[in-house]
Amino acid sequence: MKKINTVAIIGVGLIGGAFGMALRKQKLAGRVIGIGRNEKKLKNAVKLGALTEYSLDYWILGEADLVFLATPVVHIEEMLTKIGPYLKAGALVTDGGSTKENIVSAANKYLPLYTYFVGSHPIAGSEKSGVQFSEAGLFNGAVCAVTPDKLTNKIALSKIRNLWKKLGANVVTLSPAEHDKILAATSHLPHFVAAAMEVSVISKNKNLLSLIGKGFKDTTRIAASSPEVWAEIALANKKNVCKSMKEFIRQTIKLEKAIKRGRSKDIVMILKEAKVKREQL
Amino acid sequence: MKKINTVAIIGVGLIGGAFGMALRKQKLAGRVIGIGRNEKKLKNAVKLGALTEYSLDYWILGEADLVFLATPVVHIEEMLTKIGPYLKAGALVTDGGSTKENIVSAANKYLPLYTYFVGSHPIAGSEKSGVQFSEAGLFNGAVCAVTPDKLTNKIALSKIRNLWKKLGANVVTLSPAEHDKILAATSHLPHFVAAAMEVSVISKNKNLLSLIGKGFKDTTRIAASSPEVWAEIALANKKNVCKSMKEFIRQTIKLEKAIKRGRSKDIVMILKEAKVKREQL
């Protein structure tokens, strides 16, 4: 892969910071410029080795061969309506957002025809946020979804796929619609379930707090994620998220009814199906 | 603590095996006899160091100063109806079952007055089962609930509490009823939620399977637990489990409705409550 002269990262948090660190570690980019509003955070990102420099001014985008949008999802949409005039001809643009239909559609609508957008979603986030948790190996072994649609340029697609592979990710290519449908179930649903469980269970009972085991802790780890980020994701992928939640609620009610009625065989059947499916992962 | 001459363990699986290993490692017991029906498994437990000997015959219980019941919960109840005639006067009996009201009540009903029962629940299980996963350090740092009721002998209670402390556990003492109410929420609910999520989400879609991230895996790890064991637990603690599941379903529906209606502030409020509670753990 040819070295990229200048990369611009908008939103230097956990994912944006790790992207910069990984590019630099692998010597895949010359300049890595962070763009944002919080100078202190950007300075810190330079210090941590995620960036070679930073700017508070979007004009610098005109120098970028590759632009990576790594802010929360709603902000990525907003960015896409604004950055068009700054981009240079031939610029490659991608993102790290957790929803893809809304983002790819905004890119198609607002970016100039002489730039190339390819949606990506590296599945490497955690309940932590901020560049202080970034590391160059974050994408190593992680899955990265790349989501072309019929307007996506084939060469740009191939470049973005190769880039993620170079950063160590296992690339899965699928449409924005399929991505959002699947992620609603495999990623968004578990977050909202973990949150509902925390809210329904935890009280100030001292004995309760001391009787929390590993099972509960694992199941609710992601309930510590950023409320604002996940509210945005829920709304950006509303239709699919609600569908997944409804199906999950249906299965939970079914199991609760089997328990209430003392139907041992029905309970075992549901738990067995779950065990078989879990062991396939 | 005085060394116990003879300990009998009925049910030498993950918990029973670890109990034997820990007693032996700390030199807290002389003979550690495993009792069960599967000779091959018992031989293996001796080989792994969990036992000093084994027996297929319940008459050997007459030699035990301490009896530990570590079979699945329904089987513990059944054992309690049967072992009485074999026990020697002054024998101390405890268990490792995940539910306590049913077990303590069976002990009160069926054990002879010249023996002493104290219910315990070491919260150290996992989705794994079998003595091959046991280790002497399993209870180290784990919480162990000890559940006396008004019939419990004070000296026996103190001996059982001390024993678990010696094995490295943090002992929490509470009534069988409170134990079952709390565990329904902190342990049983997460198992059934994880199972319902597996069943509602996982399909044969190849892209879906490759887009499973760490969040989903953590949230559903315990869905790989034994279906039979957990069906028994559900039924042994039916009233509390159903109550916890209903409250959880109510919170999940509330969140789903807030998402469906696009109420960003309501979503953030629920997720924030969850985050604050999660971070208290």
Chain B touched by A128 (CB under 8 Å)? no
pLDDT at A175: 97
Q: Which CATH number fits domain A4-174: 3.30.450.40, 3.40.50.720, 3.40.50.300, 3.90.1150.10?
A: 3.40.50.720
Phi, psi values for residue A264, rounded to 5°: -55, -45
What is the pTM (predicted TM-score) of this model? 0.85
Parallel/antiparallel/unpaired status of strands A116-123 and A143-147: antiparallel
In this structure, chain A runs to a length of 281
H-only helix segments in chain B: 14-25, 39-47, 73-82, 101-110, 154-166, 176-183, 189-201, 206-210, 214-220, 227-236, 238-260, 264-280
Beta-carbon contacts of B230 under 8 Å, excluding residues fewer than 6 positions away, are: A267, A271, B188, B191, B192, B195
Nearest 5°: the CA angle A210, A216, A219 is 155
Contact residues, chain A, for B199 at CB < 8 Å: 251, 270, 273-274, 277
- Among B272, B232, B214, residue whose Cα is nearest residue A219: B214
> What average pLDDT does range A15-25 have in this prediction?
97
Using a CB–CB cutoff of 8 Å, tell me whether B268 touches chain A. Answer: yes
Tokens 């001014």 correspond to what residue? A57
Residue A158 scores a pLDDT above 80: yes
Task: Give the closest-approach CA distance of B273 to chain A in angstroms.
Answer: 7
Q: How many CA atoms lie within 13 A of B270 on its CB side?
A: 27
How many angstroms away from the CA of B63 is the closest CA of chain A?
34
Q: Do domains A4-174 and A179-280 have the same CATH topology?
A: no
Sheet with B143-147, strands from edge to edge, namely B53-55, B29-35, B4-10, B66-69, B92-95, B116-123, B143-147, B170-173
ipTM of the complex: 0.85
Q: What percent of chain A has pLDDT above 90?
A: 86
> Are the Cβ atoms of B143 and A210 closer than 8 angstroms?
yes
Selection from B126, B99, B220, B32 nearest residue A186 by Cα? B220
Contact A69, A10 (CB under 8 A): yes
Q: What is the pLDDT of residue A218?
A: 85
Size of interface A-B (CB pairs under 8 A): 305
B188-195 mean pLDDT? 95
Surface-to-core class of residue A176, CB atoms within 10 Å of its CB (0-12 exposed, 13-18 middle, 19+ buried): buried
Whether A255 and B195 lie within 8 Å, measured CB to CB = yes
What pLDDT digit, counting tens, does each position of B69-98 carry?
Answer: 999 888 999 999 999 999 999 999 999 999
Which of A141-145, A203-207, B46-50, B215-219 bottoms out in mean pLDDT, i.e. has the lowest?
Answer: A203-207
Q: Do A182 and B279 touch (CB under 8 A)?
A: no
| Closest to B201 measured CA to CA, from A247, A83, A228, A89 | A247
| Nearest residue to A8 via CA among A40, A43, A34 | A34
Return the CATH number of the domain spanning residue range A179-280. Answer: 1.10.3660.10
Q: Check pLDDT > 90 for residue B68.
A: yes
Helix axes B73-82, B227-236, angle to 10 degrees: 70
Beta strands in A137-268 (DSSP E): 143-147, 170-173
**Does A126 have pLDDT greater than 80?**
no
Residues with Cβ within 8 Å of B253's Cβ and at least 6 positions away in sequence, in order, are A249
Whether A262 and chain B come into contact, CB under 8 Å, resolves to yes
Query: How far does B23 lie from chain A, in Å, by closest CA?
Result: 23
Interface residue of A99, A193, A220 to substitute, partner B, most B CBs within 10 Å: A193
Distances (CA, A) of A20 to A5, A9, A68, A162, A184: 13, 8, 10, 16, 28
Measured between beta carbons, the chain B residues lying within 8 angstroms of A279 are 224
Q: What is the pLDDT of residue A204?
A: 74
A63-91 pLDDT tens trace: 999 999 999 888 999 999 999 999 999 99
Distance from CA of B64 to the nearest CA of A (A): 30
pLDDT interval class at A142 (50, 70, 90): very high
**How far is residue B138's CA from residue B29's CA, in Å, rounded to a whole number?**
17
What's the pLDDT band for B265 if we cut at 50, 70, 90? very high
> What does the pLDDT read at residue A129?
82
Q: Domain limits of chain B?
A: 4-174, 179-280
Contact call for residues A76 and A95 (beta carbons, < 8 A): yes
Two tokens, residue A279: 């062991």
CA dist., res. B47 & res. B63, Å (int): 22
Q: Does B206 touch chain A (CB under 8 A)?
A: no
Cross-chain Cβ contact A187/B223 below 8 Å: no
pLDDT class of A51 with cuts at 50, 70, 90: very high
Interface of A with B in 19-48 (CB under 8 A): none
pLDDT of residue A73: 86
Chain centroid offset of residue A150 CA: 22
The verdict on B133 touching A (C-beta cutoff 8 Å) is no
d(CA B178, CA A18): 46
Residues of B in contact with A147 (CB under 8 A): none
What is the spatial distance between Cα A255 and Cα A269, in angstroms, rounded to a whole number?
10
Query: What chain B residue is nearest to A143 in terms of C-alpha separation?
Result: B211
Flag whether pLDDT at B245 surpasses 90: yes
Q: CA-CA distance, A218 to B221, in Å (whole number)?
A: 8
Mean pLDDT of A139-159: 96
Q: Which residues of A touch B262 (CB under 8 A)?
A: 235, 238
For residue B127, pLDDT over 80 is answered with: no
Nearest to B197 among A211, A214, A248 (CB): A248
B263 CB within 8 Å of a chain A CB: no
Nearest CA in chain A to B213: A123
Distance from CA of B124 to the nearest CA of A (A): 8
Q: Do A194 and B123 touch (CB under 8 A)?
A: no
Contact (CB<8Å) A252/B249: yes
| Helix (H) or strand (E) run with residue B173 in it | strand B170-173
* Residue to substitute from B129, B252, B272, interface A, most A β-carbons within 10 A: B252
Contact residues on chain A for B188, CB-CB shorter than 8 A: none
Least confident span in B77-91, B216-230, B236-250: B216-230
Residue A138 has pLDDT above 80, yes or no: yes
Residue B214: predicted pLDDT: 79
> Residue B175: exposed, middle, or buried by beta-carbon count in 10 A (0-12, 13-18, 19+)?
middle
Please tell me what DSSP assigns to residue A2: P
pLDDT at B49 over 90: yes
| Burial group, residue B247, by CB count within 10 angstroms (0-12, 13-18, 19+) | middle
* Residue B135, min C-alpha distance to chain A (Å): 17
Percent of chain A with pLDDT over 70: 100
CB contact B169 to A (< 8 Å) = no
- Residue A252 pLDDT: 98
- Among the partner-chain residues B182, B193, B259, the one whose CB lies closest to the CB of A208 is B182
CA distance A56 to B216: 37
CA A13 to chain centre: 12
Q: Chain B partners of A128 at a C-beta cutoff of 8 Å?
A: none
A270 touches chain B (CB under 8 A): yes
User: Which residue in chain A has the smallest CA separation from B224?
Assistant: A275
How many angstroms separate the Cα of B236 from the Cα of each of B73, B99, B100? 8, 7, 9
| B172:A210 CB<8 A | yes
CB-nearest to A199 from B124, B172, B274 is B274
Structural tokens at position A255: 């199991």
The predicted pLDDT at position A58 comes to 94
Report the C-alpha gap between B123 and B187 in whole angstroms.
Answer: 9
When CB atoms are compared, the residue of A183, A253, A262 closest to B211 is: A183
**Res B242: pLDDT:** 98
Distance CA B47, CA A103 (A): 60
> What is the mean predicted confidence (pLDDT) over B133-148?
95
B200 has pLDDT over 90: yes
Distance CA A20, CA B133 (A): 42
* Per-residue pLDDT tens over the stretch A35-44: 999 999 999 9
- pLDDT mean across residues, chain B: 94
Cα nearest neighbour of A266 on chain B? B231
Contact present, A15 and A125 (Cβ < 8 Å): yes
